[in-house]
Chains A and B, each alone.
Chain A
Amino acid sequence: MKTHWQILVVDDEEVMCESLAAWLREDGYVVDTASSGRDAVAKARLRDYAIYFVDLKMPGGMDGIETMMQVRRLHPEASIIIITAYATVDTAITAMKEGAQEYIVKPCNPEEISLLVNRIVKVKNLQRENAILRKKLTRQYVVHDVVSKNPRMQEIMALCGEIASLRSTVLIQGESGTGKELVARAIHNAGDRASKPFVAVSCAALAETLLESELFGHEKGSFTGANQQKRGKFEMADTGTIFLDEIGDISPKLQVDLLRVLQDRAFYRVGGSEEVRVDVRVVAATHVNLQQAVAEGKFRDDLYYRLNVIEIRIPPLRARREDIPLLADHFVERLSHELGKEVGEVSEGALRLLLDHNWPGNVRELENAVERAMVTCRGPVLTENDFAFLAQTAAPAPAWGIPAGMTMQDMERVLIIATLERTQGNIKEAASVLGIDRSTLYEKIKKYDIPR
């Protein structure tokens, strides 16, 4: 563990400097020396030393205290030990006030230095361990920030952890409001790119030309209003992740450009002739059925296959109703802090109302509903009355009707899709509900090309 921690010995007397450095090297540390305060600060700029032994009296306008102050500005966490042959109470107080970890008088007992360095290293090892554990814990929370006890969602979160450090492109499909961006962020935050940029772009929000410039940047003068060169989102996301939301809405031209980026990891800025290379992980999302869009010729199949390396389908909230109480509590807890209201829980009656609602807008709609209820509620508990607006906005339950021209096969397809949705894709359960065996259900899924 010692080689992790580098030490800098600072003393204008070479013999003093080298002898202490040699003694510390015998103990297994990597030790550098500096012959003045300025030399020490220059070395501190280049390397992150864990411990500094700094002589108090040094010529050249920068004494040990000044050196320590400058080093601490560069590395506040560094441990600095002031050494002096001329100890006075005043200098000791000044050194400690300015942030010296220890103040030792030379010559000092070898045991004293040995114990001191061991103590500092022990603390630094614990701090490092603590930082690693914190990071791991944060990652765990980030993945689990997608609140769910639904088995399918838990599978998705486990998958996010597994694929987090890969560079493979991910395609997230799901209805609006299901948390596609949250899943994309979970993938980014759980992987090696966590400390690098995460850049989200909504492809549906901008017109084709604007989106092109937004994604790839532009050169000065490439179009009216392009007064200066601008970096695109792909460049901003270099070494990190770009999240392309509503990818199903991009134009055919942009589909071609995007395909090139995915193939070559390179592109040209709008109006530019210089190739820009990037190391970006692409996570795309859409609420439309891309497979169907491909079949209908609206989306390039080669781009679809490039995007769909890892596919994640997020189930709608109505297919994971067990998450509704959990999510409601989660939003109540979070919003009570944000809104400064002391609301602690959701009543049973209100929960029944929430469970009965169809949630076409999914988790986002639930979040908005909880926020609206919290804004207007008067007590510490959210009641049915606080959610009364849901009954007004809820679409009437569709009457069971058979559209004209519907065939037996159409009917069977609809029935299988609805059952699979209710059983959250569980084939065994769906087969049991439908009264057929599993192999028959598999055949029908294949026959009707039902996505799973």
Chain B
Amino acid sequence: MKHLYVAATEEVEREALAAVTARVAAEFGGPVRSMELGSVDFAFDPGRRQYGSIPVLDMLLQRFPADAGKLLAVTERDLFIPVLTFVFGQAQLGGRVGVVSFARLRQEFYGLAANREIFMERACKEALHETGHMFGLVHCAERRCAMSLATTVRQIDLKEDAFCAACRARLQRHSGGTQV
């Protein structure tokens, strides 16, 4: 039996990691296994002062546990792909690995006062979103669905911390939960 793994880079605060792991486990029918990733400094781009999400995904594939079906990483680092200024996260569509960045989910990033509740909600929504991509889900037209496309935190806030009925049905048609 293959497992869903949630892995964290060294700087990720443990409380946020626990909340995301619990949410993913509840949604995808845990238990979910944990994994430590250490640093992602190798993905740092000095020109952009950000971290490339593609090298991070490559690293995840290299370190993919033998008993894993899917591996979702979380990091505090600000991620980008070459053509875009940033990404909240990235995953292989219908693939094995994905990553979520917490950097832009915090109010502080936008010069606002910290709000733990808002940050946790956003983190859980984005974790569901990237995991959904790993299970083959594409962006959903239903704005409240966790799979809807968000390019701003306002759009993340408009989503619910759950999949819509149609996306849930698509997930059910998949081999089911974490057994991939």
Contacts and interface: CB of A to CB of B under 8 A. Distances in A.
A22 B133 CA distance: 11
Contacts of A2: 138
B83 A114 contact: no
B138 A22 contact: no
Contacts of A106: 82-83
A87 to B, nearest CB: 14
Nearest to A20: B83
Nearest to A109: B85
A25 interface: yes
Contact of A26 (B80, B83, B138): B138
Interface stretch (A11-19, A181-189, A346-354): A11-19
Contact of A23 (B48, B81, B85, B152): B81
Contact of A110 (B86, B92, B138): B86
Contacts of B91: 26
Name B's interface SS.
loop
A98 interface: no
B83 A107 contact: yes
Contacts, number: 63
A108 B152 CA distance: 14
Contacts of A113: 83-84
B84 A109 contact: yes
A109 B151 contact: yes
Residue of A19, A20, A27 ringed by the most chain B CB atoms within 10 A: A19
A108 B85 contact: yes
B93 interface: yes
Interface string B102-140: 000000000000000000000000000000010000110
A25 B138 contact: yes
Contacts of B139: 26-28
A188 to B, nearest CB: 40
A31 to B, nearest CB: 10
Interface residues of A, number: 22
Contacts of A26: 91, 93, 133, 138-139, 149
A111 B85 CA distance: 10
- For chain B, the bracket of interface size reads 20 to 34
Given A26-B133, A27-B149, A111-B152, A13 B82 contact: yes
Interface string A14-54: 01101110110111100000000000000000000000000
Interface string B81-102: 1111111001111000000000
B151 A108 contact: no
A258 interface: no
A15 B85 contact: no
A15 B54 contact: yes
A351 B54 CA distance: 81
Given A22-B93, A26-B138, A111-B152, A15 B82 contact: yes
A27 B138 contact: yes
A26 B134 CA distance: 10
Contacts of A110: 84-87, 151
B53 to A, nearest CB: 8
Contacts of B86: 110
A111 B81 contact: no
A420 interface: no
Interface string B25-47: 00000000000000000000000
6 contacts: A2-B138, A26-B133, A106-B82, A107-B80, A109-B84, A111-B151
Given A13-B82, A107-B84, 18 more contacts: A15-B54, A15-B82, A18-B54, A19-B54, A19-B83, A20-B81, A23-B90, A25-B138, A27-B139, A27-B149, A83-B83, A106-B82, A107-B82, A107-B83, A107-B85, A108-B84, A109-B85, A109-B151
Interface of A: 2, 13, 15-16, 18-20, 22-23, 25-28, 83, 106-111, 113-114
Instruction: List the 4 closest A-B pairs by CB distance, nearest first.
Output: A19-B81, A28-B138, A111-B151, A110-B151
